[in-house]
Structure 1
Amino acid sequence: MRLLRPRPTPPPPSTPGDVLAEAEGLWLRLGGREVLQGVDVTARAGEVLALVGPNGAGKSTLLGALAADLPPAGGTVRILGRPAAEWSTPELALRRAVLPQSATLSFPFAVEEVVRMGRAPWVAVNPDDDDRAVAEAMAATEVTRFAARPFSALSGGERARVALARVLAQRAPLLLLDEPTAALDLKHQELVLRVCRERARAGDAVVVVLHDLGLAAAYAHRVAILHAGRVAADGPPQEVFSGRLLTEVYDQPVEVLPHPRTGALLVTPERNL
């Protein structure tokens, strides 16, 4: 007689400030190269943490480590206070949702079917909850109107929003998003970052890899600036975004200025046109 594995238990609700993921002294190698070197970073409930830095700085690698998808060579990664390796795959799926840089499917699933895949960790506990989560995720990302269209027939930006809807439908308290705005137009870049803030306001921890420093300054509660596999600075954008530091990290002159009307932080490269 085969014993059935017990159904994984969802995590209890988080309170603002709870540490939902953390890396401590993290070292990670890929292809024989040390991509991360002694990195410390913390994702807390109620916050959007942006990972920024130049290409090759280790942003996506750090996100993969926080997702328990990449095993560290040294240091520790904890998810909800427990070493990442100690969680089973079904348990992890109820605790963190991951958006990779690109979304591809080999079969012509309809958009709604793709979003519904995010409900798989809940193994049909309540079909009404599934329907509600899928509908709310599609509405939040503005993909409801093409719910019946094949995913393969969508533009790159539309696919990116559907992929985000799948992550939102998963209803995990830790969201790990890798360049969710890369394929999007101006309107939908703003939409995605507003969704990130809304999820943080609802009590989730959101970790997002961004290349647009202006978006990071506007929407992130905290920013970790990565440079050559290390954290060069970690804190609120108003404290860590300086022209001197960003110029050094990006090897490109950068200006950090207050908006003339609102005083909000503006980050722009210096240009001599």
Structure 2
Amino acid sequence: MRSPRLPRLVLSSRPAPPPPPAPGDVLAEAERVRVHLGGRPVLDGVDVTVRAGEVLALVGPNGAGKSTLLGALAADVPAAEGVVRVHGRPVTAWSAPELALRRAVLPQSASLSFPFAVEEVVRMGRAPWAGGEREDEDDAAVAEAMARTEVTGFAGRPFSALSGGERARVALARVLAQRAPLLLLDEPTAALDLRHQELVLRLCRERARAGDAVVVVLHDLALAAAYADRVAVLRSGRIAADGPPARVFAEGLLSEVYDQPVEVFPHPRTGALLVVPRRTP
């Protein structure tokens, strides 16, 4: 008697990475997106487009919905209404491995339960490429990311032994090592000193000039004015303004959005916009 044939096991192949984007390609977009958290609306009909070759800064007061919008674009926060697309497809149509090749996400805080060394943490960014055609780039990608974020000098130290600012730079190195064409960064400068704030924003601009799309949540309006190609100002879960900093950063709009009088004027040497609170003598 012939034994029954066992079903053939078909091993799924690794997802193919996306082709390099062309300048101006839409890598992410939100269309009429509404998000509810804790029973209350946090985003209310938001439209935003993220294009290759530009840095988009999300700014606004606390509770305006900046991090929620970033989470929606990352497919980490589900939309109650509307649609979020990454590389032209609804985020729900991508598998997790496919998304990991298309977007890299830096959350507000990074914590690990095990004593991983810094280099091991950065190497985690290469996980989406394991077993794929670019796995041989791992060592170079990790080394470059650590050098760019200036963490090579403590590559062997435990992540848990680092200061807050050092952890933030290691977390950014992990994102850079992932080499995804869409970077979503939530307050990457919050724990950093002046020098490293500038370093991080320069890296954002360089990645955009190389063809990637970068979305960064910022509280420092001067940094946004200096480094962003476009700024989306959020207020109460809606987009109050979207455009180049020179057009969006108007005293009246910002004073109203932040409920704080501000002054906007050009830097006397570079001409870059400076945004400061209006203070009485």
Q: State the TM-score, normalized to the length of structure 1.
A: 0.98
Shift of 1:124: 4.0
**Alpha-carbon separation, structure 2, partners of 1:262 and 1:205:** 25
Counterpart of 2:268 in structure 1 is 260
Name which of 245, 250, 255 aligns with 1:242: 250
Counterpart of 1:61 in structure 2 is 68
**Alpha-carbon separation, structure 1, partners of 2:268 and 2:24:** 33
**Alpha-carbon separation, structure 2, partners of 1:37 and 1:168:** 31
Counterpart of 1:7 in structure 2 is 14
Name which of 147, 153, 172 aligns with 1:145: 153
Letter of the 1:17 counterpart: G
Larger Rg belongs to: 2
* Mapping for residues 223-234 of structure 1, pairs under 5 Å: 223-234=231-242
Counterpart of 2:259 in structure 1 is 251
Count of matched residue positions in the alignment of Structure 1 and Structure 2: 273
Shift of 1:14: 0.4
**Alpha-carbon separation, structure 2, partners of 1:61 and 1:51:** 11
Partner SS, residue 272 of structure 1: coil
Name which of 195, 198, 201 aligns with 1:190: 198
Structure 1 stretches of 4+ with a deviation exceeding 2 A read 124-128
Aligned Cα root-mean-square deviation (Å): 0.8
**Alpha-carbon separation, structure 2, partners of 1:184 and 1:261:** 25
Counterpart of 2:30 in structure 1 is 23
- Is the counterpart of residue 82 in structure 1 residue 89 in structure 2? yes
Work out whether residues 58 and 218 of structure 2, in 8 Å CA contact, stay in contact via their aligned partners in 1.
Answer: yes
Deviates more, 1:83-92 or 1:257-266: 257-266
**Alpha-carbon separation, structure 1, partners of 2:275 and 2:67:** 22
5+ residue gaps in structure 1? none
Work out whether residues 26 and 77 of structure 1, in 8 Å CA contact, stay in contact via their aligned partners in 2.
Answer: yes
Shift of 1:2: 3.3
Partner SS, residue 224 of structure 1: strand
Report Cα offsets for 1:171-213 as digits up to 9, x if no partner: 0000000000000000000000000000001110000000000
Name which of 100, 107, 120 aligns with 1:100: 107
Partner SS, residue 238 of structure 1: helix
- Is the counterpart of residue 46 in structure 1 residue 53 in structure 2? yes
Q: State the TM-score, normalized to the length of structure 2.
A: 0.96
**Alpha-carbon separation, structure 2, partners of 1:249 and 1:141:** 33
Shift of 1:127: 4.7
5+ residue gaps in structure 2? 1-7
The percent identity for this pair of structures is: 79
**Alpha-carbon separation, structure 2, partners of 1:117 and 1:200:** 23
Counterpart of 1:171 in structure 2 is 179
Work out whether residues 52 and 225 of structure 1, in 8 Å CA contact, stay in contact via their aligned partners in 2.
Answer: yes
